[in-house]
Amino acid sequence: MKLLLVASLAALACKGSVAREVCHQYSDTIESPCNEVICRPRGYEIRRYAANNTEFFTDAFVDSDCFLKAATEGFNKNYAYISGKNSKNETIPMTSPVIFRKYNDTSGGGGNGSADETADLTGGSEHCLAHGWHVGFFVPSKYETRGDVPVPEVENVTIAAVPSGAVFAVKTFGGFASERDFNRKTHELVCRLKRDNVTIADAGDKWRAVWASYDSPFVIFHRHNEVWVKIDADEAALIRLDSGDEVGDEEVEEEEPLWNAQDFNSEVA
């Protein structure tokens, strides 16, 4: 009888509480942000993130436009954070993807907002200017609010929230992705969005373009990389895209890159 009473009280305590969903993209064990696939036009798919819960990423600023330098330093800063350099001295599980964003920060921290819009940095690390990259790890879903997330105690590392209900066009590709690969795939995706008359988010949006890498360097085969471009579009238009009515069969035209590492948030011509 006593055991039955304890079980009943436990059931009452749990009633109404719903465990937050844990999602995995390309892995059965490593957590990734949850998303809803809205539709799959030819050549990319459209996803909605942070539809039901707030999703957070770390945000390590590296004051260099050299992608390899930023990727290495940004990863190390974030790894120090999840290894215990935080307000709770917690070891936080590794997640995926590692994301890379580049934007002109008008708040006064990170970047100087003076990007040369004509510069093309797809050629390599000799073109190094001081505008900086933002490198992030996904914060596990067990931290449901910003107050739950351990505060970073690593220089130039903060916490960023994905905009609620953010919609991204996503292009996936494999291999060990270089800066040139990410630039090319971003260019291809933007061309397809222009072809499909999909409106891209404003240039001032800090989530306008995201590069995502899902695998550790030890994964040799079946690697996963993605380019996310934030879009403004109503769901009805996206569903029409899914039907193929507005999607042509033509290949992406070869043009000069519309976006590159130097001017990641320039307006698309």
pLDDT at 80: 98
The more confidently predicted of residues 108 and 26 is 26
Report the pLDDT value the prediction gives residue 65, as an integer from 0 to 100: 86
Taking only the tens place, the pLDDT of each residue in 174-224 is: 999 999 999 999 999 999 999 999 999 998 899 999 999 999 989 999 999
Band (pLDDT 50/70/90 cuts) for residue 235 is low
What is the model's pLDDT at position 166? Answer: 95
Instruction: Identify the pLDDT of residue 131.
Output: 79
- The whole-number pLDDT of residue 244 equals 57
Q: Look up the pTM and report it.
A: 0.78
Take residue 140 and report the two structure tokens written for it. Answer: 């596990």
- For every residue of 155-212, DSSP letters joined together read TTEEEEEPPTT-EEEEEEE-SS--HHHHHHHHHHHHHHHHHTTPEEPPTT-TTSEEEE
Amino acid 127: pLDDT? 43
Q: Coil, strand or helix: which one is 77?
A: helix
pLDDT at 139: 98
60-108, pLDDT tens digit by residue? 999 998 999 999 999 999 999 999 999 999 999 999 999 999 875 544 3
234 against 80, higher pLDDT: 80
Q: Which domains does the chain have, with CATH numbers?
A: 35-243 (3.20.80.10)
Q: How far is 141 from 56, CA to CA, in rounded Å?
A: 8
CB crowding 250-261: b at 16 or more within 10 Å, else e: eeeeeeebbbbb
* Integer Cα distance of 207 and 231 in angstroms: 10
So what's the pLDDT on residue 138?
98
| Average per-residue pLDDT for the chain | 79
Residue 39 predicted with pLDDT over 80: yes
Q: What percent of the chain shows pLDDT beyond 90? A: 61
Tokens of 152: 């970073």
Q: Is 125's pLDDT higher than 80?
A: no
Given a cut of 80, is residue 34 above it in pLDDT?
Answer: yes
Alpha helices in the chain (DSSP H): 2-14, 67-82, 179-195, 235-243
Q: According to the model, what pLDDT value does residue 103 have?
A: 75
Q: How far apart are alpha carbons 219 and 79 in whole angstroms?
A: 18
Cis before residue 97, ω within 30 degrees of 0? yes
More confident residue, 111 or 23: 23
Tokens found for residue 137: 């790890």
Strand partners, 61: 134
**Rounded-to-integer distance, Cα 255 and Cα 250, Å:** 14
